[in-house]
Structure 1
């Protein structure tokens, strides 16, 4: 059986590090998720969340609305985060920015109150620009342990676990915000890092045993497919994405990618683009140079060029949503 080409690899026994951006954290080449997927950058000065955390069904969600809603029509946007989850202030502010542009944003806790290891630590600690040998050894040990914890965490959050949560939230959101769904002609979706894969899956036709956690009820009838569950999607620097994930997409999709991103390799991206073109799926793919994986998630950087690229990626994704 052909093994799908993953955008990530399992950790190796020997940890290889690189400091791609002086002043930022080192990147573990073999990690399943990068540092930027599980640790927040400093929150930009003067920014604070304006939405609130509530519940849709059994799932906690961060909800943020346009200031003139419901007096003015809105569109429903599902925002799926990286490993830092809905309690991340940066993720909340990111959702608010879409709300300021006219979207009613629902950001679900797709991890069932189990965000990635260390993601609840609000303090961002950068690594030395030129670490000593002892510091490099310490960093190596730390990164190896962190990779192990992240892999254990990922094993707890598979499509079989995450998709039923998202489907339930979608159903509840469609009921509560039926006006926004009707106004937009469906549900819009954006995803960052971990969440990007699930935007692709929600935009595909999925076997009901995966998407809904159902068992095959009729052996003769077999497994049914359901979906797509969204109208249009936009993603930034996805992780754990396979060629098959991209090949399955049936809705217009925009992708903000990072050049030479080991968590979303160029070959996976390029094969995916070919599949989208062959399937006549409307798409756009933009590759950003000189930025780290995770750059599109709201957060401050010492390098002003990265901050500008972050804003550019937001405009790319926002523009795609508004044009559909």
Structure 2
């Protein structure tokens, strides 16, 4: 597929950088570009301001013993629906923006299950994006950068607590619970659909792949996997992701179902070499796919939240339409 380039300008592009160390780092939380060598950035763990007047309409529940946010179409169960598994970034299921995003998919006819991948331990949230001045003083910039440095350390510690070995068993429990409670929606859609943002994007790719028995259960595969090791088929029938973090080329190479990826140009959290290797693998394996590459937008732009820049708003809206259209067509 031909990549789509959208010329937009991230809000932080007008802010003067003080040093090479902060060359790709904004003082405005939520507007940061991908940072060199970072495994996760501010964009994945801080909510943008919530769109004015919008209130979540879903409910908190449990599936397989795991906390989930569930958003249902207004006419469900009287009218057929399809099950959508939505995996969030580090802000988790209690984020108002994430709940509103789930509600948006529900308004399009999907029964949305958004699980707590972090067992009540969302990413550190020490900076409130809504409290940052539009044009902070040099001292305020220094304070914010110091806070971001400290927070980066906390995020690294947090990521070490939320590895595939911890996350995959949780997702397995949620899927098994959904198969019991929402069997009608799964049957109506011929399987489960998947949407993932930032942290959650990686796990949509894993669920879309064919993996050895150990990996499917959240365990590390041995270096020498014996021939004949059982491989589990994908747990979703189609998926779409936006600006993934910690994605490896192997994650994409193992994908066996239709997949759409919304990516960002020059994104160190999803490097070009990983994307290109993944693209080649999808083409080689004849996997139906679309890849859209956006330029100039901040990592995390596709997650629901308000931006002043109309171009970023338009890119966010367009990406939602692409992801929704993809799962609707499969």
Q: Determine if the TM-score, normalized by the shorter chain, exceeds 0.5.
A: yes
State yes or no: 1:116 paired with 2:123.
yes
Range moving further from structure 2, 26-35 or 79-88: 26-35
Counterpart in the other structure of 1:61: 68
Counterpart in the other structure of 1:282: 288
Counterpart Cα distance in 2 of 1:46 and 1:52: 18
Counterpart in the other structure of 1:212: 217
Counterpart Cα distance in 1 of 2:128 and 2:145: 22
Counterpart in the other structure of 2:85: 78
Counterpart in the other structure of 2:160: 155
1:154 Cα deviation after fit: 0.4
1:135 Cα deviation after fit: 4.2
Per the normalisation by structure 2, the TM-score is: 0.86
State yes or no: 1:226 paired with 2:232.
yes
Change (3 A) 1:129 1:289: farther
Range moving further from structure 2, 262-271 or 100-109: 262-271
- Structure 1: gaps (5+ residues): 1-13
Tell me if structure 1 keeps the 8 A contact 2:202–2:245: yes
Counterpart in the other structure of 1:142: 147
Tell me if structure 2 keeps the 8 A contact 1:51–1:63: yes
Counterpart in the other structure of 1:242: 248
Tell me if structure 2 keeps the 8 A contact 1:22–1:129: no
Residue 254 of structure 1, aligned match among 231, 249, 260: 260
Counterpart Cα distance in 2 of 1:312 and 1:191: 16
1:25 Cα deviation after fit: 4.5
Change (3 A) 1:139 1:214: closer
Tell me if structure 2 keeps the 8 A contact 1:160–1:211: no
1:270 Cα deviation after fit: 1.6
1:57 Cα deviation after fit: 2.0
Counterpart Cα distance in 1 of 2:282 and 2:32: 34
State yes or no: 1:191 paired with 2:196.
yes
CA deviations 1:9-64 (Å, max 9, x no partner) are: xxxxx843435698964555443212110000000011110000011121000001
Counterpart in the other structure of 2:24: 18
State yes or no: 1:41 paired with 2:45.
no
Change (3 A) 1:171 1:196: same
Q: Greater relative contact order: 1 or 2 (C-alpha under 8 angstroms, separation 6 or more)? A: 2
Counterpart Cα distance in 1 of 2:27 and 2:297: 8
Corresponding residue SS for 1:124: helix
Counterpart Cα distance in 2 of 1:123 and 1:315: 26
What count of residue pairs does the alignment treat as equivalent?
307
Change (3 A) 1:127 1:156: farther
Tell me if structure 1 keeps the 8 A contact 2:92–2:122: yes
Counterpart in the other structure of 2:208: 203
Tell me if structure 2 keeps the 8 A contact 1:75–1:181: yes
Counterpart Cα distance in 2 of 1:220 and 1:152: 34
Counterpart Cα distance in 2 of 1:45 and 1:135: 27
Change (3 A) 1:50 1:122: farther
Tell me if structure 1 keeps the 8 A contact 2:27–2:144: no
CA deviations 1:234-279 (Å, max 9, x no partner) are: 0000000111111111110001111121211222112211110011
Counterpart Cα distance in 2 of 1:123 and 1:16: 19
Corresponding residue SS for 2:130: coil
Corresponding residue SS for 1:18: coil
- Structure 2: gaps (5+ residues): 1-19
CA deviations 1:113-149 (Å, max 9, x no partner) are: 0000017x765344654752x4444333222211110
